[in-house]
Structure 1
């Protein structure tokens, strides 16, 4: 069975390769950053097991690693690998030679992942199953990516080490923004554990008429957008707003369908992702990589789409959740 632990080990392998290539190139801060993240991924299960056994030291060491990574990111010491003229020329020549075949590996990932996810209940032999019964999505995605790598090697005729080299280059290009979604999602869990959801529910109850389905629906949708803008990630906003408005007001008080509220609430939160520089990996890094004159040019182009999608999602939630 492809357990989640194998996926984390695969991620640790990619991150460890990035640390190795940066170390060879003398980019010491980059090497330390990716090396620490690789260790956290590789030792994740051991850290959780030790924590459940009452040994806090591994958990505290993981916290120290996160703090060191934050200091490295904030210090400006992380730097991108310079692209030589020879590398650029070779990439351009390869792109011209391969043409539209370059899209084949990229399209392989969603196609294979979707197929594996849908077939997961049938990929069983006795007590053995290919994917965990409770969470097949992430292992299916990981296997889809591995198959896409093999397809890419076949299409490009590149050496077997090229995927790790390219992963290292891409990680250095994206830099610390790669880990931002994970940290912000964890922040959402911290907010929920510390009672922020309850505080939001109390505040909303004083501001809006809670006996109105429409008012609660609008408050939930706008709250998802605002919290996503603040925290940069809909996954971080979701537990807070669902615990504060979605669950007590929409679902329990007004009897809304939880599936509709959850799905459309998350989609509404994604509209906030389009509007915030906190979602740096989506909105700021592309502007830097594309060398746009306006750092917020991506956000400006997405603003109208975000407003239209948010209005549509909130309307759909109101008309579908209470049927």
Structure 2
């Protein structure tokens, strides 16, 4: 461990320079998707598709500097073509199966090294630096791009740009769900939803019955995460409404309760189409016929995990 140098960067540089650069990259790729679809005559709804991706891209790239009202207007604009189903997939330039098989024959299992490297890079940045993890992921992706270019000379920069657009188009408007749901959690907290939940739970959980409070807290995390699609958005509301007044107020260990309650929320993530990154994106990428196929295969696992975590919280509270 002594050989590992911990990198510390001025928080202002981290927040004001590095992270905005990441969002600029994301935004420009998304804007490219909009422009490419606008020029694609095979796209049955190229104007609506271009409006969606360009609005999304501008909000991502320049949201740090745009006034809040402008960002809000962009969100409304991008939602209009999505609501009317005017975001379509245009011409797809995917590699043929023969080319894929040939490339795999040359590269073999080394193909997993770039993907594995992204995860390692993210972990290292998270553990040993104060740099935002998204910056670490971005650096890992860039390193992966370089490795893939070494693997195959056909991997030019435009290949990665066009493939980024292809996967964005496959996912469609679902791409914006994580950001919007994350914002919704903050809005719910500010609006006092936690207090409303607390008033309802008072009628079910007797004061001082911590074990019952834990059960309600865990199940509430699952249900609210299913609605929100995001356990991080649910944990704030549920902690204010149930965790604080019915569990922590009676001396339960906040580390155990908070940490395990969050993983209870992840059980809800396994059960909802609102968690698009986990349950809907794989369906689109793998071209599965059953849109709920991923969720159906996770129901039993989620139930077992929830029971174990409730028992853990009760035992070690």
Distance 1:256 1:4 in 2: 37
Distance in 1 (CA, whole Å) between partners of 2:124 and 2:208 is 44
Whether 2:183 is the aligned partner of 1:168: answer no
Q: Number of aligned pairs?
A: 297
Tell me whether 1:261 sits opposite 2:270 in the alignment: no
Question: Any idea what SS the aligned residue of 2:290 has?
Answer: coil
- How far is the alpha carbon of 1:14 from its aligned partner? 2.1
Q: Distance in 1 between matches of 2:61 and 2:91?
A: 29
Do structure 1's residue 193 and structure 2's residue 190 form an aligned pair?
Answer: yes
Which of the numbers 88, 100, 122 marks the counterpart of 1:91?
Answer: 100
CA distance in 1, matches of 2:184, 2:94: 42
Structure 1 residue 208: Cα displacement? 1.3
CA distance in 1, matches of 2:186, 2:278: 22
Distance across 1 between alignment mates of 2:220 and 2:122: 32
Structure 2: how far apart are the matches of 1:151 and 1:258? 44
Select the residue among 15, 20, 25 that pairs with 1:5: 20
Q: State the Cα RMSD in Å.
A: 2.1
Q: Distance in 1 between matches of 2:133 and 2:92?
A: 35
Mapped contact 2:27–2:60 kept (Cα < 8 A): yes
Of 87, 90, 99, which residue of structure 2 is paired with 1:81?
A: 90
SS of aligned partner of 1:77: coil
Match in the other structure for 1:154: 150
Q: CA deviation at 1:119?
A: 2.5
Residues 92-146 of structure 1, C-alpha deviations (whole Å, 9 max, x = no match): 432333221211111010112212332216xxxxxxxxx3xxxx32222222222
In 2, the alpha carbon distance for the partners of 1:117 and 1:236 equals: 21
SS in 2 for 1:262: helix
Equivalent position to 2:80, from 71, 75, 83: 71
1:237 equivalent in structure 2:
234
Q: TM-score, normalised by structure 2?
A: 0.86
Residue ranges of structure 2 left out of the alignment (5+ in a row): 1-12
Change (3 A) 1:258 1:4: farther
2: CA distance between counterparts of 1:313 and 1:107? 29
- 1:202–1:42 Cα change, 3 Å: same
Note the residue ranges of structure 1 that are not aligned, 5 or more in a row.
48-57, 122-130
Look up the SS of the partner of 1:206 in the other structure: coil
Whole-angstrom distance in 2 between the partners of 1:13 and 1:108: 24
Could you tell me the TM-score, scaled by structure 1's length?
Answer: 0.85
What is residue 223 of structure 2 aligned with on the other side?
Answer: 226
SS of residue in 1 equivalent to 2:86: coil
Q: Which moved more, 1:212-221 or 1:112-121?
A: 112-121
8 A Cα contact 1:30 1:172, kept in partner: no
The structure 2 residue matched to 1:284, chosen from 280, 294, 301, is 280
Retained in 1: the 8 A contact 2:24–2:60?
A: yes
